[in-house]
Structure formats: C-alpha cells, structure tokens
Amino acid sequence: MTLPSLPPGATIGILGGGQLGRMIAMAAAQLGYRCHIYAPEKDSVAADVAAKFTCASWHDREAMQAFAQDCAAVTYEFENVPVAPLSVFSGGQLAPGVAALEVAQDRFREKRFVEQLGGKPAPYAAIDHDSEVADAVHKVGAPGIMKTRRDGYDGKGQWRIASEGDAAGLRVPESGLVYEGLVHFEAEFSVILVRSRTGEVRFWESPHNTHVGGILSRSELPAPAMVTGQVDEARALARQVADALDYVGVMTCEFFATTGGPVFNEMAPRVHNSGHWTIEGAITSQFENHVRAVAGLPLGDTASLAKRVTMDNLIGAEAFDLPRHLSDPAAHLHLYGKAEARDGRKMGHITRVG
C-alpha cells in the first residue's frame, strides 16, 4: 500500500537517536515536517533537534504503539533496529520496510541475497558452530576477515585472521560468524541511491572512500578512473537490490574496485556516512531526498554542484578544535552534538566543495 504524500506539519517518526537521525530531522524541518525520535538511549543527539522524543526499549510494545499512532510515516537511521517490534506499523507506514532490515542485519543472508541477484561478494563461508571454524578458514583461505553475522559496524565485530592457526580455539557466538577472504582491490567506493514510493530511482555520484581502522576517514569526488569505470555495473546491482526489496528511501551499497570488476562489500538500508558530502555538494542532499521519499514527495535532483568535493570525518577530540576548523574558509563544519569525545567515535565532519 502506498501512502499519500504527507502535508507540511505532519510528523515523521525516526527509529534511532544518533547523528543520522539528527540530520534527517533537520532536513525534515526544512520541508515543514515535525519529527518524533524513538530510541532506548536517554542521550540522543537526534532528539535535540526534534519536536518529540520517546525514550523506551525497542521491545516496549505500548510505547511503540503510541509512537506509531503519533507518526504519519516512520523511518530508521540504523540497520540494527529489532524487527519483531516493528509489526505495529502497517499500510506502508514504515519506510524502508522490514525486508531491508532482515537482509542487512545478517551478513551471511546479505551476501546470499546479493549473489542471487548476480552480484559478486568476497569469498565467504558461514560458521554456526565451533567445529566449523577450521574448515571455513581452510576452504576460503587465509588471510581473511572474521565477522559476526549480526550487530557489526565501523570496524566493530570483525578481526583479521592472518593464518589458519589464528582461528584455533575461536568460540562462535549464538548468532554465528562469517569468514571472508581478503579482496585485493584498487579502491573502495559506494553507490548511493534514493528510491521513491513509486519506484523511481536516482543516484548520486559515487565517491572514492578511504577507511582507517575500519572507520570511514574520507569520501572524495571525483573518484579515480578505476572506480568510474565500474560504477555502471555497481549501480545496476544496487538498483536490483532496491527493487527486490521494494525499497523506499536512501540506500547505500559499498564496493571494492578490483581488476575483475566491482566486488560487493555490504549494504546500508539508510542514509550513509559516505553521502554526507551531498549536503553542500549536491543539488539535493541524501537527507532531504530520504525525507522526500518517505513523505511521498517528488525526488530532488542528485547532480553534484562541483567537480571536486571532499568530506572528512572528525573522529574523537579533534572535532572540538573549532578555531582550526573554522579558519579554513572552504570548510563546512558539521558537529553532531555529542558531548563526550572518545577514540574512534564519529563527532562530526567537514565538507569542502570546489
């Protein structure tokens, strides 16, 4: 069922209270919408800029039902929202739908899903029991990366296996593991798209991404020729993923550019860190277009505003050096309202255009 477009003043619910929810709420406010944040953590940087905040467990059915009744449409800012409590939403109210969460929350299921659509992930093997670890590493080969099947992001829930001996004695959690062979790549890039409630799909230019310690450090345009030559193939797969999930909103698929073509890494059923450059660097940002899609509005133009755009993440205490950041006349500074700067914590970003 497709919802009618939401009139200004309607309330959009956001599941999750982090910086992505904050930026979605800011974009929604610009279009005249109110936002209601639902998150289990009391300290919510998204709630700071929203009209309403419900702080309750994901499994508090009464609170979730009240939240659903207050919102004309609901979206989410991260992919680890438990699926079962979302049954309170109906009639297309939740966008993207639960199908995207069910795929993205399980690394093994995600890889199988993409393979069935013709995509190429890294070599991998699922591990459900301790006794399967050695066989998986031997089958795929070392070195490789061992990953939890669920609840991993920004380098968390994964570790490098340099040799088969490194996996000896490894304990497998109840949710299982996935072992991946290392991919020899020239560059990393992402395909960021938005899909409307009517099935229209638009893409932003694909940035070249650089990671440090498993965390995105920089996204930049233009991407090198190795990437641009593989974008069309990667976009075709990303569109298939979005169509197969009947997706609504912004979705990102991350890829490795290799001599054998694009290798799928992972998908994010939400707005994405590598798309933050679009706030100043594109005609319509990923956040505004996500709100447009969820609200049933026409999508905005995704064209870039300059040939060169860079986005640098601010990690930890470096984010609070305002005199240094703001002394650069080309810097567009975004801080996320987080009071405590910890090592490895994303505190903000800087975008430079042109």
When computed from its CA atoms, the radius of gyration of the chain, rounded to whole angstroms, is 20
**pLDDT digits 0-9 by tens, 171-213:** 899 889 999 999 999 999 999 999 999 999 999 999 999 999 8
Per-residue confidence band for 159, with pLDDT thresholds at 50, 70 and 90: confident
Is the Cβ–Cβ distance between 185 and 257 less than 8 Å? Answer: yes
| Residues forming a β-bridge with 295 | none
Cα separation, 262 vs 348, whole angstroms: 29
**What is the mean predicted confidence (pLDDT) over 156-163?**
81
**What are the structural domains, with CATH classification, of the chain?**
11-94 (3.40.50.20), 123-181 (3.30.1490.20), 187-353 (3.30.470.20)
User: Which among 256, 241, 231, 238 has a CA at the least distance from the CA of 113?
Assistant: 241
Per-residue confidence band for 91, with pLDDT thresholds at 50, 70 and 90: confident
User: Strand, coil or helix: what is 100?
Assistant: helix
Give the other-Cβ count within 10 Å of 82's Cβ.
Answer: 12
Query: What does the block give as tokens for 127?
Result: 């591990």
Is the Cβ–Cβ distance between 295 and 5 less than 8 Å? Answer: yes
Cα separation, 146 vs 205, whole angstroms: 31
Cα separation, 352 vs 277, whole angstroms: 8
pLDDT over 50 at 19, yes or no: yes
> What confidence score (pLDDT) does residue 154 get?
55
Cα separation, 50 vs 62, whole angstroms: 21
Query: What does the block give as tokens for 351?
Result: 């975008």
| 174: Cβ contacts below 8 Å, ≥ 6 apart | none
**What is the mean predicted confidence (pLDDT) over 124-139?**
90
> What confidence score (pLDDT) does residue 1 get?
47
**Predicted TM-score (pTM) of this structure:** 0.94
Is the Cβ–Cβ distance between 311 and 350 less than 8 Å? Answer: yes
Cα separation, 73 vs 97, whole angstroms: 11
Cα separation, 311 vs 351, whole angstroms: 4
**pLDDT digits 0-9 by tens, 277-294:** 999 999 999 999 999 999
User: Which among 110, 91, 108 has a CA at the least distance from the CA of 100?
Assistant: 110
> What confidence score (pLDDT) does residue 130 get?
87
Buried b / exposed e over 11-34, threshold 16 CB at 10 Å, is bbbbbbbbbbbbbbbbbbbeeebb
pLDDT over 80 at 122, yes or no: yes
H-state helical runs in 141-285:
225-228, 231-244, 278-281
pLDDT over 70 at 96, yes or no: yes
Cα separation, 32 vs 268, whole angstroms: 27
**pLDDT digits 0-9 by tens, 291-332:** 999 999 999 999 999 999 999 999 999 999 999 999 999 999
Task: Say what percent of the chain tops pLDDT 90.
Answer: 86
Query: What does the block give as tokens for 17?
Result: 């209270």
Cα separation, 335 vs 322, whole angstroms: 10
From the number of C-beta atoms within 10 Å of its C-beta (0-12, 13-18, 19+), residue 50 rates as buried
> What confidence score (pLDDT) does residue 33 get?
98
73-76 vs 261-268, strand pairing mode = unpaired
